[in-house]
Each structure stands twice: as structure tokens, then as C-alpha cells.
Amino acid sequence: MALSTLPRKENDGSRMRFSVAIEQPFSPAKEQEIMLETKNLRVFYGEKMAIRDVSLTFPKNHVTALIGPSGCGKSTYLRSLNRMNDEVPGCRIEGDILYKGEQLNRPGTDVFEIRKQIGMVFQRPNPFAKSIFENVAFGPKHHGARKALLEGIVEESLKKAALWDEVKDRLHTSALALSGGQQQRLCIARALAMNPDVLLLDEPASALDPVSTGKVEELIAELKKEYTVAIVTHNMQQAARISDTTAFFYMGELIEAGPTSQMFTNPQKKQTEAYLSGHFG
């Protein structure tokens, strides 16, 4: 149906959310460089299809929030973006994962190389039982960075993760003595030390107190100047605060994606409207 043929309600005071039908699939950024993209992505656990033909683009220097009720496939989708699902027994992926246009979902792809460029941070902070310094230096060391460079990498990564000032005098003490919020920023620093392009964050603040959550949110706003960010969050206020694009998943499908301000004020699909107004999930 063309837009002009849709019945237009008079403004009767109710919201007119469904008066406009968008028939084109959402394409957030025609002019922007696309860093990462999936086309018709399907993810299976055994026979069960957990992700159903999801096509979504992640523009450079852009924060994309993935929202939806528990169990709808947000983590599964996020993990497929850097081939982390390879580590899950019985998990199989079909479709395209394109990083700067290059197919990642093919045999022979160097997954360690991918994970350097597409870093990931999980819900629970998971620092190694090592010093703060060794946590951040771990990846670069493993990939052969010379010792002389490590101090610089550690300092720069901790600064980018907004943690340097809090830890610069205790770099060689245990990371496990840090607060939860500090540990999560340390995990972000550990990912940044690999000099990635993309950061995948799976509910990075959900185990944190409000002050630490605020710090992580501020940090994400800062990080997008340099990185492309995909973040899973079940906190809708958080999605509204920090993301440019919001993608709503439900039962393994991408129901709708669009500019965050539009998604929250004028979602195009009934399921999105229902979810955002707290009717399920």
C-alpha cells in the first residue's frame, strides 16, 4: 500500500503511531561506511533455529542497541558477529557476516584475527586472576607485541576505558581487587588493547551499580568516536540514552530496526510498540 492511500486518523488525542507504513527495510546509513553487516543470518542450536534470517547493518562510529525480551536471541546474534558461537557445541551458522565487506562466515577464516578486530565484553566482568597491567597486556603480548611497547599500550587502553586515573598507582596489583564497575572497564580496556574496530558488548552494565553503569554509558559515548559499537541491553532507558540505532528482536527475528529516537516515539511494528510499552518480556 502506498503511503498516500493509508487512512489518516484525525488527531483525536491518541497517539498516531501506526498511521505511517514504512515498506522499505530499514537502512540506517546509506552515506555512512558500513563496518559490519549480516544478511539472512540463521543460527541453529542443533535442530532449533535461534536466529531467523536477520539482516542488519552496523555503521562506523555508531552505537547500535539490540533489545528484546530474554531468550529472543540477542546474545546468540551478538556472538555470531565475531564467530564466538564457534565455541558453542552444536551451534551452526548460515548466511552472511560481512566485516568491511569481507565474508567472515566461511571455513578457513582466522577467528583469532577476527576477534582482535571485533572485540567482545560480557555481562559479568571476567578479568584474569592477574595484575591490572597483565590483564590489559595479555592480548598484545600473546600476539607478539614487543615488551617495550606494552607499557604504552596498557596506559593508552586504560585511558580510553576511563580507568587510568583510578588504577595508575596500582597497575601491578590484582585485578580481582577492583570493584565490579572497575573490572568491567578493565575488560573494555583489555579489548581495546587489541586495537579493534568494533566492540560487541553483551549487557555490560547489567551487573553493575547505578554509578558504575553511568560511567560505562559515558564511556560508550566516548568510544563511538573511534569504534563501532553493538550493545545488547535489556534496559530500555539505557538503549534510548546511548544508541543511535535500536534493533528489536523477538523470538529469533529482527522485528524492526531504526533510529533510536524514532523507535522509542514512533515504532512501526505492533510488537515493538507492545514491548516498549511493557506489555511483554
75 binds Mg ion (CB under 5 A): yes
Taking the complex as a whole, the smallest distance from the CB of residue 45 to Mg ion amounts, in Å, to 14
Of the candidate spans 67-75, 104-112, 249-257, 263-271, the one that interacts with Mg ion by CB under 5 A turns out to be 67-75
Q: Would you say 50 or 239 has its CB closer to ligand ADP? A: 50
Taking the complex as a whole, the smallest distance from the CB of residue 233 to ligand ADP amounts, in Å, to 11
Q: How many residues bind Mg ion (CB under 5 A)?
A: 1
Q: How far apart are CA 15 and CA 122, in angstroms?
A: 38
Q: Would you say 7 or 89 has its CB closer to ligand ADP? A: 89
DSSP state of 144: T
3-state secondary structure of 200: strand
Residues 153 and 145 sit within 8 Å (Cβ to Cβ): yes
Residues 223 and 211 sit within 8 Å (Cβ to Cβ): no
Residues that bind ligand ADP in the complex, under the rule CB under 6 A: 45, 50, 68, 70-76, 88
Q: Would you say 39 or 92 has its CB closer to ligand ADP? A: 92
Q: 129 to 158, contacts with Mg ion by CB under 5 A?
A: none
80 binds Mg ion (CB under 5 A): no
183 binds Mg ion (CB under 5 A): no
92 CB neighbour count, 10 Å cutoff: 14
Q: Is residue 215 exposed (0-12), middle (13-18) or buried (19+ Cβ within 10 Å)? A: buried
Residues 161 and 136 sit within 8 Å (Cβ to Cβ): no
Instruction: Please report, as ranges, the residues that interact with Mg ion according to CB under 5 A.
Output: 75
